[in-house]
Structure 1
Amino acid sequence: MTTERPFGRALCAMVTPFTPDGGLDLDEAAGLAARLVGEGCDGLVLNGTTGESPTTSDAEKSALVRAVREAVGPGVPVLTGIGTADTRHTAELARAAEEAGADGLLVVTPYYSRPPQAAVEAHFLKVADATGLPVMVYDIPGRTGTRVEPATMRRLAEHPRIVAVKDCSYDLLTAARLIAETGLAYYSGCEELNLPLYAVGGAGYVSTVANVVPRELRAILDAFDAGDTAEATRLNARVLPLAELMMDAGLPGTVTAKALLGGVLREPLQPADRVAVDGLRAAYEALVQAESVVVV
């Protein structure tokens, strides 16, 4: 397993709390961030898909980084999503994130316009050159319409500040090859692949489900690192029913996470209905009550 974990192992893709009237709730965000770190998260990723970044302003994104940075202190990695479909705007957000105190940048492939690979590469390089912060490439072709192809990823890995990947490609074979060939720190962005990717050399995960059960997810990695693969497998199997309901049951992870945490969504997202909420709560209670989880 790679020892290069620039942002730790267990990262939470944190939801963005809003007030009842839809404003940014910085006090709630600070409290949530502190709780997540206290319950086992090594770092936090703000302003991503789970953080409803398409509906927050540039100023709100920076304000959230500042509030969380203050809440968790300087020792906890705080990354922020800055991805847009516009390279110039993305570079502007990168500079704003650096000024706000972020430790790293989550940069998604430009979406909708479906640029060719040469343009994808140029986009990431220009953003990486915009600040002194390390970059985590977010490869999620199911949402963006464009994959970061392996040859492109190999070239990006040569940039000194492109250090990590949030992998939602669902291509474990290619991920394993690129880990070995490039030294990039691969973080699983797909809950069902957290353990498999870790087992082939991944650095850890960036998890939506960690908003709800951070200790239970971290315990899987702890067991694997302790050499107890059977225990890691058992713990992973216990988490999967909740993870499936949260991430693969027809609702966005933001919606299901806030259904369990309580919280306001910004449109176009809508709250989960009663049937979905009841199912989520039943799965959550079954997980946390099954047995105590000891973090190694």
Structure 2
Amino acid sequence: MDNLQSRGHLLTEQINPNSQNLDSLSSLEIVDLFNQEDNKTIEAIAKARIPLAQTIDATTLAFKQGGRLFYVGAGTSGRLGVLDAAECPPTFCTSPELVQGILAGGKDALVKSSEALEDRPADGAKAIAEREISKLDVVVGITAGGTTPYVRGALQEAKAREATTVAISCVSAEQVPMEADIDIRLLVGAEILAGSTRLKAGTVTKMALNIISTGAMVGYGKVYGNRMIDVAVTNDKLQDRALRIISDLTDLNRQEASLLLDKSQNKVKLALLMHWTGLDIAAGEELLDKNKGNLRLSITNNQ
């Protein structure tokens, strides 16, 4: 435990004057209060637009160079990182290694509180070392209050290994400086329930991670227009989505789209390329490989 030093001055720990009578509000008043306070998450994202864009660019470059994206956190922050990482393979058909969540306490901490483990900076550094993180990778440290030793230890080790480091926190740099190449401050103010950063801080963090991972996947060629053309066809819902994508982007009806999807071995991107270029599956895959999986470039370079 860190010498019992008070963190009450931190923005994330302060008392919200708008909710001081929280225990006296009706259910409808509580809903309205949350709605009012959650509007601040939109403002916070807007103010962090430049470092968010820088993170997208850095992550896109990392992917193209064979690097990976890591989210590191403890408690709610860590769980949000694991969640975003887990959603990338089904959405973008990426390997589980491309985007990874590192949570203090490991898998057990997903469902069981393990807050004491966040006080060990050496554990954060060890997690970075175990994954052999290098200068090709991007490491995003997530800590709402900015002080989590596990995250700070991880960022320090990642920086020593020359990885691109990103810090995400909900306190100002004046309150808690953090050493990182990119510093993202999501200032949503005091929580409705004092100190409960699973609320606005958690919401704005999820928004930021959505932006980072989706933006990087766009840059990595996993999107055509606004369609997830690398969607993994693993259940009925995703097969339906795949067929709709093909039908919407081509002149094919649903039955024809289904035949094309079968011919491409359930690869939407490849199916579209085969349809638009007339290439067979082998030639289509070769062309995509030459263009690092980018459909738009593959179409242009085939003309």
TM range (shorter): 0.3 to 0.5
The TM-score, its normalising length taken from structure 2, stands at: 0.34
The answer to which structure has the higher helix fraction is 2
Work out which of the two has the higher radius of gyration on C-alpha atoms and give 1 or 2: 2
The TM-score, its normalising length taken from structure 1, stands at: 0.35
